[in-house]
Structure formats: structure tokens, C-alpha cells
């Protein structure tokens, strides 16, 4: 049981980070390869303020998010003006720089050898709460004007600008939002696996998160959550297949992206309305069959 | 419509495999031991050899009748791909799902530093080859109760080669070239420098390089200026080999002082560039004790141990230490095994008689072999060396 | 002398980067996306070349040919399997990138699953000694790589500007849609481009494999370097890729030589990258993109 709780915690943390990427890449169409860097900043700030300065851990994680909120506009300011590809590159460079800085300042961060003995504060319930809160906030974001503006920017920036949307300001808001979610995930993870080093969160972390969003469907928040759940569970289930499991995982992704580019869930969103709709559909068809077969009403 | 069914199919496929992967059986008459090694990451060469040695040792033990009056050992292996998170998940799975009574962990410092605190929680003992002392000792006077090391720590090995170079070879000016992104390399470089300088030597350069670097010429050119008598490398095999080759190309013929990554197949891979390298190791290929295990490994696995014979010894000996503890504990219970491990005294293993220090969980007085590569041969200079302390 | 030797070190490193960056830039120029499966192609072709060199005892040129053909064929296959459909459905560019990343991971783990994680030292098919000019040293491999890069550029130039296919490629680079209307067989052109990029990957895989051993992460690590170099020089231009490589290598070597040491290299590179992207986003020699905003 405990194994499943641990697994659920790790997957939940991943969901938080992926939802952040959903906001940035799914809704707004920006490709940020620097999420790993933000996770690292959030994690290190949280852990160091807790372990060295004795800050209680919930506050420490919040401080981590604050640190990210300070750094991300600095990164975003020059890079968000750039074309899509160049933005990706700038954020990629940022992620690498964070790793390198982490390695340089050995006194502070423990350097390459990492910080060990981080107390475990995260557990499955805290993560579940955080996941719930994150999904709730992001769903509201998506359905609000902010969300619609994002979609507009994703489709066509020039027209969005022409329609009066402050494209740059909007991109900045979304970027900071997604980055702070990454910071949250990073802090939670550090307090869970007892260990932190500058290499854990790297460009491949960011890339994997982007792939998960595309796999689930860039229009669907439910999709990116579902895809994270599925594709994180998959390697675990296939643990016996060791290396082939990653090959299979990659094949799944390529297949979906090719044959169903709208992603696993397309535009589908899980909501009260959709659940009600599904239920009534199933009831309606049953009623229909009943009336057909018996001729009664 | 068709693509909808496709995605449904994918979801079902994934769920099916998740669910089938979930079955866990609890054996009755067997002793379950877990092994977490690197089968596919950066240290796979060593990890696979280490893992194979464990497999072979378990098979041999089972053939001889098993443990605890005839119970067979069941080995459950996982690959952690040289990633900390994977190792942690594997350990959780071994303890919670597979219900093992002990784990043979990897010789990977970063991983064990993260796993040792988890082991304190889950209370299943781990024997590993992780050399960084911080994976055993969280603070002065403390020890991680569920983690045991069965080879000299990074400190001990670094000091051994520093001591040998200083006192036996008369080398006083050294430059160090190390991978800044590799905890193992860093954990060897620092104590070496410290010991060397404390005992009167000079470290003219402490040059780091980024992980992934394959061209060391800028650093080497920088070092060449400073004219050291020897260069100390503390990296993995591939990097050490490239460093050696590039050194010779640049006309730097000073001696190389190595780490335990310089054991076979170092000379085979790097060629004559590494002639004259001196390094510490737990078991040298030329050692008479190594001949039979080498042949046995080759017969069982159809190839020579690619990760070096010392990894065969480590894998085998870790299991031997565990087996001895299980017998003394009298039952397949993690707590009892842990206590037995802590009181291990003069346990017979291939390398030497192992006594575990209860205060540090490291072996006491584990001698190292100092080897020099001469003309592609691994020549033993001293087969039971301990550092000099003043 | 010391500075001069370091300068030569930088140039030779730049040559390696240039070799990688050019193959990467080819895809980017025409198809406008960063093809991260390039790394996978490098790795596989490197293993292919190693196999024939060590098991079948081919000498240098035949091994190189095998590697280049393997790379070319693999790249074409990847395009057919992973990218073609997306292109036909006119999917947004980002899908190519995401797919290419998955292909890259899949292929790398396929290699790990079938061949294993060990690294392989090539047999001595290139004369090994370095060249000594006075007290300066240049490694033969680096000279070879620089030479190969130049050759590749010359050949590419010839193909692009003196052949019909080259003309078709240039047309497609301008505008895929219009080129199709003009009667260019787009599928064929794209396959050709991928083949060329794959052959370049084979060249990289062979030379870098010989110099630094063949191992599963070879392609990935090389590609990241080439990617950054190509960006600095300008993703729209091939000579830009070369220039960017030289600059990247110079900066890296300078940082290592300085008291900062190698630890600071990624930070300095990033800062430079940011400055560059801010001041001249298309890179030093890049052409302005045709994509809107």
C-alpha cells in the first residue's frame, strides 16, 4: 500500500508541473524548456530556508514559489518578445544556467553532491490537496477571459494583438503562473525524496512535460492530467521490461501525435456538465431500447 | 470517429498493463532479496557486471543448499538507470510490493545519499558500494542504521592513493582534473587534495569540467603550464581514458594517478596512453585470488566481466556479507538481519575478512590494492595498503 | 604560445560543433523545425560504422560510407513514420518538435535495450598521432573533422546551387505550397533533405565516435551542442551554423582558460545567448523568419 502512496505522490507532483506547462504551452502555445530550472529554484529555496533558516516547511514552499515569481519575469522579459522557437531556446539556456549555478555554489546548495537528509514533509494527502487546488485554479483560468486570450494568442499572435490583447503582458502572466506551479512541484518533490541536486531538474524534465501536454491534448486540461497519470503509471507497470518500456512509451506518443493530433482527449473536459451529459446519454439510450423493445412509454 | 477509438484503445492498453503489473506474490519458503543496479545509464558497464555477479552468487548459494536450512534465495532485480528518483521508487517497490528482507544497492553515492534516509523509514537494510561517507553518516556521531558499505569509502580510497603517491612515489606536485557534475568524482577529488596538502604536497590545479565534456584540451593545456609531476583523475572510465589519450597528444607525459575506475578494462580501452597509471582498487585482475572467479564468470555469462573483476568481487561479496548476516540472524526478518549486519566480524568474503564498524557501518581495516599499469598489464605494487596518517 | 595553443583548441572544438550544427541546420532551414531526432540518427549511424569497422574490419572510408548511408536511410524512415502525416495534415510546427523528441528517446532506449550501455572504442583506422607545429599540437582527428565540415559545405553548396534537386530544395525552402504548385514533388524533396541530414549525421557519428568513443548518449550530447551553436549563428543559414559553432567554442575555451574555470561555462553561454537573442534574435547570420510574430 505504501508503495502505491509513494507512487501516487510522485505522480501527483508531476501533475502539478504538467498543469503549469499546460497553461504555458497548451493554452498559450509557448514552448518553455526551462521549467526544470524553475522547479530547481523552487526546490532549493524551499529546502534551504527550511533547513538552514528554520522556516516551517509550508512557508518554505511558498517562499520557493515567491522566488520563482521573482526570477521568471526576469527571464521572461527579454525572451517573451522572441519568436516561438527562440523563446524555447532562451528558456533552454536558462535551465542549463540554473543547473550550472547550482553546481558552482557548493557551499550553498551542496553542489554536485547534492543536499541529502531533507526531511520528508510531503505526503500523499498534501499532494492531493495541491493537485486539486492547481486543477481548480487552472480550470478557472482556462474558462475565463484570460484563458480565451491565451487561445487567441496561440492561434495567431498578430491578430490577437490587433484585436486589442496585450500579448506581451498576457504571455508574461501565463509564464509566471506556469513557472510558479513548477516551483511548487519542485518544492514538494524535494521534501519527498529526501534529496536534491542541481542535475535532477533538467531540460529533459521540461521536454517530457511538454510531451505529456501534447499527448493529452493541448485543449484539454483533463487530457494533460490523464496523460500524466497514464504515462507515469506505464513505466512503473512495465518495470520488469526495464528498457523496452521507454521504447513502448515513445511509440505510444508518436502514434497518438500522428493519428490523433488533437491528443488523447481532444477537446473533452471533465466537468459536472460533461458527467451529467454522459449519464443522461447512457440513460437515454437505455430508455430508447426499452421503449423500442416493449412498445411502452 | 476512428481516432477516438484509437485513443480509447491506447488507454485500455495502458490500464491493462498497469493492472497486470500490479500482482504481487508472497513466496512462502524462500528468502526474497532485492537488487537495484544500473543496467542502462552512465554506469551501466559496472552495474551490469555487479548485477551479474550477484545473480551468480545467488545461484551458487542456492545450489549449495540455500540459507536457513534449505530455503532458496529469490533475487528480484531492478534497473535504476543511474537516476535517483528511479532508485527510490525501486526501493519502495521492493519493500512494499515484493516484500524483500534486504536490498543490495548500487555503488552510486548520490543514490545512496537519498536512499539511506528512506531506508530509515522503511526499515529494510541495504548493503551498497556507495563510497560517499555522507550516505552512511548524516552528522557527527550519527549513522544511518539501515545502510551498510562493503568497501573502503571515498575518503579512504582518496587518501590511500594520495598517501601512496606522496610517501611511496615521492610525488609532491599534483594537478586534479575532475567531473564537476559527478558526485563520485567530486567526493574523491576533495579528500585527495585535502590529504595531499595536509601532508606537505602541493595541488597546483583543481580543474573541473562539465559533464558531457569529451574534449579536455583547454583544461589540459592550462594544467600543462603549471608543470605538475602527476595528474589525478577521479572520473568514470570513458572520461579518464579520453583524458589520458589527449594528455599524450599534447605532449604531457607525466604520470596519472587514478581512482577505482581505472581498473580493467582501462588499459584495454585507452591503450598505451595509460601506461604508468597508479590507482587503488579492491581487487586487481592480476591478483591470484581473481583468477577462478574470473573464469567462473566467463563461463556463466559467456563473456568477460566488462565492468572489471573488482565489480564481480563487490557484487559477490556484498551477497556473501548479507548471507552471513541472514544465517546469524536465524530468520528472514529485516530487523534481525540489520542487527546481524552491524555485528559482522571477520566475515569470509572473496576480497578479505570483513568486519563492520557498528559506529560508521563501514568496514574496518579494509586493505586496498595499489596497481600500476605497465605495458597494458595490471601489476600489483602493494596488495594490502593502508594510508599513512601523521 | 599558451594562448595560441588554447586558440587552436578552440578552433578544433569549433570544427566539431560546426560539423554537427550544419546537419541540424539543414532541416531547420527547409522545414522550419528543430529536429531533435537528429541526435538519434547520429547515435545509430555511429554504432553502424563501429560495427563494420570492428567486426567486419572495414577501413575508414567504407565505414564512413556505411554510417552515412545508415544515417540517411534512418532519417528518411523517421520522416515517413513520424513526420509525414503531420505535414500532410498541416499540423502546427510544434508537433514536429514534440514528435522528434519522442522518436529520439525511443531510438536511444532501443539502442540501450538491444546493444547495451557500454561505450566502444573504434579500432585504429585513422593515423593516431597528433600534428606538432613547433610547440603547438593539433590532433589529427580534429583536422579531419574540420576538413570534413568544409567538404560537406562545398558538396552541399554544389548540390543546392548546381543541381535540379538543389533548385527544388531551395524552392521548397522558400514556400512549400507554391513550390508544389510549380510542380515540385514535395514528398521527394523532403525525403531528399532528410537523407542529406541523415548522411551528415552519419558523418558526425563516425568522426565523433572515433575521436570520443561510441556510446548511447553520443547523439544527444552532440546534438545539444550543435543546436546551441546553430542558434547562435543563425538558424536560417548554414554558414551561420559554422560561425556560431566557432563562437561557441571560443567562448567556452575562454571561460575554461580564465580563472572562472569550466564551472561557469553554461552560465556564460546562457547570458551570451540571451544578449544575442535580445539584440539580434535571428542569430548572427540568420534571415528573418517568415512566421508571423
Cα torsion through A225, A227, A229, A233, rounded to 10: -170
> Looking at the structure, do residues A113 and A126 belong to the same domain, yes or no?
yes
- Backbone phi, then psi, for C33, in 5-degree steps? -135, 155
The reply to whether C274 touches chain A by the CB within 8 Å rule is: yes
Q: Which residues of A256-269 are buried (b: 16+ CB within 10 A; e: fewer)?
A: bbbebbbbbbbebb
Residue range A234-239: mean pLDDT, rounded = 64
pLDDT at A216: 84
Q: Which of A76-80, A212-216, B272-276 has the highest mean pLDDT?
A: B272-276
Touching C (3+ Cβ pairs <8 A), the chains are: A, B
Give the closest residue to B363 by CA, choosing from B342, B389, B382, B383: B342
Read off the CATH number of the domain in which A8 is found: 1.10.3470
Q: Which of A231-245, B229-243, C52-66, C183-197 has the highest mean pLDDT?
A: B229-243
State the Cα–Cα distance between residues B32 and C266, nearest whole angstrom. Answer: 46
pLDDT at B264: 81
pLDDT at A18: 92
> Looking at the structure, do residues A275 and A249 belong to the same domain, yes or no?
no
Question: ipTM score here?
Answer: 0.80
Residue range A233-244: mean pLDDT, rounded = 64
Q: How confident is the model at residue C291 (pLDDT cuts 50, 70, 90)?
A: very low
pLDDT at A284: 66
State the Cα–Cα distance between residues B164 and A130, nearest whole angstrom. Answer: 55
State the Cα–Cα distance between residues B108 and B182, nearest whole angstrom. Answer: 10
State the Cα–Cα distance between residues A131 and A122, nearest whole angstrom. Answer: 13
Contacts of A247 in chain C (CB under 8 A): 106, 109-110, 113
Residue range C236-255: mean pLDDT, rounded = 85
pLDDT at A181: 94
Task: Cell 557527527: give the residue.
Answer: B140
Residue range A5-12: mean pLDDT, rounded = 83
CATH superfamily of B12-18+20-152+288-359: Response regulator (3.40.50.2300)
* 8 Å CB contact between A133 and A9: no
* 8 Å CB contact between A180 and A69: yes
Q: How confident is the model at residue B1 (pLDDT cuts 50, 70, 90)?
A: very low
Residue range B284-308: mean pLDDT, rounded = 88
Whether the per-residue pLDDT at B46 is higher than 90: the answer is no
Task: Cell 527562440: give the residue.
Answer: A86
Per-residue cell: C163: 543541381
> Looking at the structure, do residues A8 and A87 belong to the same domain, yes or no?
yes
> Looking at the structure, do residues A193 and A281 belong to the same domain, yes or no?
no
State the Cα–Cα distance between residues A226 and A233, nearest whole angstrom. Answer: 11
Mean pLDDT, all residues of chain B:
87
DSSP chain C: -HHHHHHHHHHHHHHHHHHHHHHHHHHHHHH-S--TTHHHHHHHHHHHHHHHHHTS---HHHHHHHHHHHHHHHHHHHIIIIIHHHHHTT--HHHHHHHHHHHHHHHHHHHHHHT-S--BPPPS-S--PPEEETTEEE-HHHHHHHHHHHHHHHHHHHHHHHSHHHHHHHHHHH-HHHHHHTT--HHHHHHHHHHHHHHHHHHHHHHHHHHH-B-TTHHHHHHHHHHHHHHHH-TT-HHHHHHHHHHHHHHHHHHHHSTT-GGGHHHHHHHHHHHHHHH-TT-SSPPPPSS--
Q: How confident is the model at residue C290 (pLDDT cuts 50, 70, 90)?
A: very low
Best B7, B108, B140, B146 residue to mutate vs chain A (most A CBs within 10 Å): B7
* 8 Å CB contact between A283 and A240: no
State the Cα–Cα distance between residues B157 and B148, nearest whole angstrom. Answer: 17
Identify whether B265 is preceded by a cis peptide bond (ω within 30 of 0).
Answer: yes
State the Cα–Cα distance between residues A181 and A198, nearest whole angstrom. Answer: 19
Domain encompassing residue A286: 268-297
Per-residue cell: A171: 504571455
State the Cα–Cα distance between residues B121 and B193, nearest whole angstrom. Answer: 35
Contacts of B292 (CB under 8 A, 6+ apart): none
Tell me if domain B12-18+20-152+288-359 and domain B155-281+369-385 are identical in fold: yes
Whether the per-residue pLDDT at B104 is higher than 50: the answer is yes
State the Cα–Cα distance between residues C210 and B55, nearest whole angstrom. Answer: 34
Whether the per-residue pLDDT at A264 is higher than 90: the answer is no
Range name among A14-18, A54-58, B18-22, B145-149 with the lowest pLDDT average: B18-22
Q: Report the percentage of chain A scoring pLDDT > 70.
A: 86
Count CB atoms within 10 A of the CB of residue A282: 10
* 8 Å CB contact between C27 and C194: yes
* pLDDT tens-place string over residues B188-235: 999 999 999 999 999 999 999 988 888 898 899 999 989 999 999 999
Number of domains in chain A: 2
* pLDDT tens-place string over residues A138-181: 888 888 888 888 888 887 777 888 888 888 888 899 999 999 99
> Looking at the structure, do residues A255 and A275 belong to the same domain, yes or no?
no
* pLDDT tens-place string over residues B122-167: 899 999 988 888 888 887 888 899 999 998 888 889 999 999 999 9
> Looking at the structure, do residues A283 and A146 belong to the same domain, yes or no?
no
Range name among A242-246, B305-309, C54-58, C241-245 with the lowest pLDDT average: A242-246
State the Cα–Cα distance between residues A251 and B375, nearest whole angstrom. Answer: 48
- Between B95 and A156, the more confident residue is B95
Range name among B19-23, B67-71, C228-232 with the lowest pLDDT average: B19-23
Whether the per-residue pLDDT at C288 is higher than 70: the answer is no
The reply to whether B199 touches chain C by the CB within 8 Å rule is: no
Q: How confident is the model at residue A11 (pLDDT cuts 50, 70, 90)?
A: confident
Whether the per-residue pLDDT at B17 is higher than 80: the answer is no
Min Cα–Cα distance to chain B from C160, Å:
33
State the Cα–Cα distance between residues C26 and C200, nearest whole angstrom. Answer: 9
Q: For the whole model, what pTM was predicted?
A: 0.81
Q: How confident is the model at residue A243 (pLDDT cuts 50, 70, 90)?
A: low
State the Cα–Cα distance between residues C268 and C252, nearest whole angstrom. Answer: 8
Residue range A63-79: mean pLDDT, rounded = 90
- Between A237 and A77, the more confident residue is A77
Task: Cell 570534413: give the residue.
Answer: C148
Task: Cell 551553436: give the residue.
Answer: C229
Contacts of B213 in chain C (CB under 8 A): 262
Residues 202-221 of B with CB under 8 A from C: 207-210, 212-215, 217-219, 221
Looking at residue A24, the DSSP 8-state letter turns out to be I
What CATH class does B155-281+369-385 carry?
A: alpha beta
Min Cα–Cα distance to chain B from A5, Å:
10
- Between A182 and A200, the more confident residue is A182
pLDDT at A219: 83
State the Cα–Cα distance between residues B232 and C45, nearest whole angstrom. Answer: 34
* 8 Å CB contact between B188 and B368: no
Q: Which residues of B275-287 are buried (b: 16+ CB within 10 A; e: fewer)?
A: bbbbbbbbbbbbb
Amino acid at each position: 500500500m505504501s508503495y502505491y502512496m509513494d507512487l501516487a505522490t510522485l505522480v501527483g507532483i508531476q501533475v502539478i508541473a504538467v498543469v503549469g506547462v499546460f497553461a504555458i504551452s497548451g493554452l498559450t502555445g509557448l514552448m518553455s524548456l526551462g521549467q526544470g530550472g524553475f522547479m530547481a529554484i523552487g526546490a532549493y529555496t524551499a529546502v534551504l530556508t527550511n533547513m538552514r533558516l528554520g522556516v516551517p516547511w509550508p512557508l518554505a514552499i511558498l517562499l520557493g514559489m515567491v522566488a520563482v515569481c521573482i526570477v521568471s519575469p526576469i527571464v521572461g522579459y527579454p525572451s517573451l518578445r522572441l519568436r516561438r522557437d527562440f523563446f524555447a531556446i532562451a528558456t533552454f539556456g536558462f535551465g542549463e544556467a540554473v543547473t550550472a549555478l547550482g553546481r558552482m555554489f557548493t557551499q550553498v546548495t551542496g553542489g554536485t553532491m547534492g543536499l541529502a537528509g531533507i526531511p520528508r514533509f510531503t505526503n500523499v494527502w498534501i499532494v492531493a490537496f495541491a493537485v486539486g487546488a492547481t486543477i481548480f485554479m487552472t480550470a478557472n483560468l482556462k474558462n475565463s477571459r484570460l484563458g480565451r486570450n491565451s487561445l487567441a494568442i496561440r492561434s495567431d499572435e498578430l491578430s490577437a494583438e490587433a484585436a486589442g490583447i496585450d500579448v506581451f503582458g498576457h504571455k508574461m502572466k501565463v509564464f509566471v503562473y506556469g513557472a510558479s506551479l513548477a516551483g511548487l512541484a519542485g518544492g514538494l518533490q524535494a521534501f519527498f525524496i529526501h534529496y536534491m541536486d542541481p542535475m535532477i531538474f533538467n531540460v529533459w524534465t521540461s521536454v517530457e512535460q511538454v510531451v505529456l501536454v501534447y499527448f493529452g491534448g493541448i485543449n484539454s486540461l483533463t487530457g494533460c492530467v490523464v496523460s500524466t497519470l497514464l504515462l507515469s503509471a506505464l513505466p512503473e507497470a512495465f518495470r520488469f521490461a526495464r528498457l523496452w518500456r521507454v521504447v513502448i512509451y515513445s511509440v505510444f506518443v508518436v502514434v497518438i501525435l500522428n493519428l490523433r493530433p488533437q491528443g488523447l482527449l481532444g477537446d473533452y473536459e471533465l466537468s459536472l456538465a460533461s458527467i451529467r451529459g454522459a449519464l443522461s446519454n447512457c440513460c437515454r439510450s437505455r430508455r430508447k431500447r426499452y421503449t423500442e423493445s416493449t412498445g411502452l412509454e | 470517429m476512428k481516432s477516438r477509438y484509437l485513443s480509447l484503445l491506447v488507454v485500455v492498453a495502458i490500464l491493462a498493463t498497469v493492472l497486470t503489473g500490479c500482482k504481487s506474490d508472497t513466496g512462502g519458503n524462500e528468502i526474497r532479496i532485492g537488487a537495484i543496479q544500473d543496467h542502462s545509464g552512465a554506469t551501466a558497464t559496472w552495474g551490469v557486471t555487479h548485477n551479474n555477479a550477484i545473480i551468480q552468487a545467488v545461484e551458487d548459494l542456492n545450489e549449495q543448499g540455500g540459507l536457513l536450512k534449505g530455503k532458496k534465495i529469490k533475487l528480484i532485480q531492478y534497473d535504476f538507470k543511474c537516476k535517483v528518483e528511479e532508485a527510490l521508487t525501486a526501493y519502495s517497490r521492493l519493500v512494499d510490493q515484493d516484500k524483500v528482507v534486504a536490498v543490495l544497492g548500487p555503488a552510486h553515492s548520490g543514490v545512496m545519499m537519498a536512499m539511506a534516509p528512506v531506508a530509515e523509514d522503511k526499515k529494510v537494510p541495504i548493503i551498497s558500494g556507495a563510497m560517499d561517507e555522507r550516505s552512511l553518516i548524516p552528522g557527527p556521531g550519527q549513522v544511518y542504521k539501515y545502510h551498510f558499505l562493503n568497501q573502503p569509502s571515498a575518503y579512504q580510497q582518496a587518501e590511500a592513493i594520495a598517501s601512496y603517491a606522496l610517501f611511496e612515489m615521492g610525488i609532491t606536485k599534483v594537478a586534479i582534473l575532475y567531473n564537476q557534475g559527478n558526485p563520485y568524482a567530486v567526493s574523491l577529488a576533495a579528500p585527495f587534495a585535502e590529504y595531499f596538502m595536509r601532508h606537505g604536497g602541493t595541488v597546483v590545479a583543481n580543474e573541473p569540467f562539465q559533464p558531457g565534456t569529451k574534449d579536455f584540451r583547454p583544461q589540459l593545456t592550462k594544467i600543462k603550464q603549471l608543470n605538475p609531476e602527476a595528474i589525478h583523475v577521479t572520473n568514470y572510465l570513458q572520461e579518464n581514458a579520453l583524458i589520458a589519450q589527449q594528455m599524450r597528444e599534447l605532449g604531457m607525459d607525466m604520470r596519472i594517478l587514478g581512482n577505482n575506475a581505472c581498473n580493467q578494462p582501462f588499459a584495454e580501452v585507452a591503450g598505451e596512453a595509460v601506461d604508468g597509471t597508479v590507482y587503488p582498487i579492491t581487487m586487481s585482475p592480476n591478483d591470484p585470488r581473481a583468477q577462478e572467479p574470473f573464469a567462473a564468470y566467463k563461463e556463466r555469462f559467456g563473456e568477460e566481466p566488462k565492468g572489471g573483476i573488482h565489480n564481480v568481487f563487490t557484487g559477490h561479496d556484498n551477497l556473501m556479507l548479507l548471507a552471513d548476516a541472514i544465517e546469524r540472524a536465524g530468520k528472514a526478518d529485516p530487523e534481525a538481519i540489520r542487527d546481524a549486519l552491524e555485528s559482522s566480524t571477520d566475515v569470509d568474503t572473496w576480497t578479505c575478512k570483513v568486519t563492520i564498524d557498528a559506529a560508521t557501518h563501514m568496514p574496518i581495516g579494509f586493505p586496498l590494492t595499489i596497481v600500476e599499469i605497465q605495458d597494458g598489464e595490471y601489476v600489483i605494487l602493494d596488495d594490502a595498503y593502508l594510508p599513512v596518517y601523521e | 604560445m599558451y594562448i595560441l595553443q588554447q586558440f587552436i583548441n578552440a578552433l578544433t572544438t569549433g570544427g566539431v560543433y560546426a560539423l554537427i550544427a550544419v546537419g541540424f541546420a539543414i532541416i531547420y532551414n527547409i522545414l522550419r523545425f528543430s529536429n531533435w531526432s537528429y541526435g538519434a540518427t547520429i547515435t545509430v549511424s555511429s554504432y553502424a560504422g563501429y560495427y563494420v569497422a570492428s567486426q567486419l574490419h572495414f577501413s575508414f572510408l567504407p565505414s564512413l560510407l556505411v554510417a552515412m548511408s545508415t544515417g540517411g536511410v534512418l532519417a528518411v524512415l523517421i520522416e515517413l513514420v513520424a513526420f509525414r502525416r503531420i505535414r500532410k495534415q498541416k499540423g502546427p510546427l510544434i508537433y514536429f518538435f514534440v514528435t522528434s523528441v519522442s522518436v529520439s528517446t525511443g531510438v536511444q532506449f532501443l539502442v540501450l535495450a538491444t546493444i547495451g550501455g557500454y561505450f566502444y572504442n573504434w579500432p585504429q583506422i585513422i593515423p593516431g598521432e597528433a600534428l606538432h607545429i613547433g610547440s603547438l599540437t593539433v590532433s589529427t582527428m580534429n583536422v579531419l573533422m574540420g576538413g570534413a565540415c568544409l567538404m560537406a559545405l562545398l558538396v552541399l553548396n554544389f548540390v543546392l546551387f548546381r543541381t535540379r534537386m538543389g533548385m527544388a530544395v531551395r524552392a521548397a525552402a522558400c514556400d512549400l505550397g507554391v513550390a508544389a504548385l510549380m510542380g515540385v514533388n514535395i514528398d521527394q524533396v523532403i525525403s531528399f533533405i532528410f537523407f542529406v541530414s541523415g548522411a551528415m549525421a552519419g558523418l558526425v557519428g563516425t568522426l565523433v565516435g572515433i575521436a570520443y568513443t561510441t556510446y548511447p548518449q553520443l547523439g544527444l550530447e552532440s546534438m545539444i551542442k550543435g543546436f546551441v551553436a546553430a542558434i547562435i549563428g543563425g538558424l536560417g543559414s548554414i554558414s551561420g551554423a559554422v560561425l556560431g559553432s566557432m563562437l561557441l567554442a571560443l567562448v567556452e575555451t575562454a571561460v575554461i582558460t580564465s580563472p572562472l574555470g569550466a564551472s561557469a561555462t553554461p552560465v556564460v553561454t546562457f547570458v551570451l545567448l540571451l544578449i544575442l537573442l535580445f539584440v539580434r534574435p535571428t542569430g548572427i547570420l540568420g534571415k528573418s523568419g517568415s512566421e508571423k510574430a
